[in-house]
Amino acid sequence: MAKQTQQLQSFWRKRLVKELPQYNRNQRHGIVSWLLNYNLSFTTTQELSVDELTTLNQKIEYRYSLLRRRYLTVNYTEGYRTLISRLSSVTAKYCSVLRMKCCQKSQREIVNLIQQVIQTLMNHDPYLKAQFEQISQEISDRQLREALVLATVEEYCLHPVKNKPFFLHCLRQHLSQTPLTLAENLMNSSCLNEANNFSYLVEKVAVFG
């Protein structure tokens, strides 16, 4: 496994020299460390099979694509809005599963609810806390560090658990603990059909500092 890890590190370091020349050597090495950290967190002394290595490479590629497409070139405020928009889309898609029906008057409450769930995860989830610690150790540049944090949160929230995004389970649990008056408003209002209905609120969303 150590040999395969070294090969992956070498491959990605060379690739980032070509694709992210605006970052210095230490920053690129930090990105590589982040790319491999999630996928290699359960390393063993045994070599991966061809199929396992293929799956691993796909996961790393997805993580890199997520970072580069959504968060790497934007500031934290814009990136956070992107994250909220992505998770709003998930909420809208699965609102019937959640037994949630959202109307115009409750959309702000839904966005606030999504933010509450994100903040709870960021503050208390052991996996995310370990990831953030690793990022803080590897990356000194604030903008890059924030981009990695946001990409980590989106990836974690959208990874499938029982064929549904993990965030959906977190949201359902949070809803079950929501005060009755708010929960009733969310459950009983008319159904939201398009995630784009959140857009005007996402633009005004408060960013956690």
Question: φ, ψ for residue 164 (rounded to 5)?
Answer: -135, 150
pLDDT at position 1 is 58
Q: pTM value?
A: 0.79
DSSP assignment of 117-175: HHHHHHHH-HHHHHHHHHHHHH---HHHHHHHHHHHHHHHHHSEETTEEHHHHHHHHHH
Write down the domain spans for the chain.
Answer: 1-73, 75-209
Q: Which residue ranges of the chain lie beneath pLDDT 50?
A: 39-44, 101-105, 180-209
**Is-contact 50 164, C-beta < 8 A?**
no
pLDDT > 70: percent of the chain: 74
Angle among Cα 123, 158, 2 to the nearest 5 degrees reads 85
DSSP assignment of 62-112: HHHHHIIIIITTS-HHHHHHHHHHHHHHHHHHTHHHHT----GGGHHHHHH
> Each residue of 103-131: pLDDT tens digit?
433 667 778 888 999 999 999 999 999 99
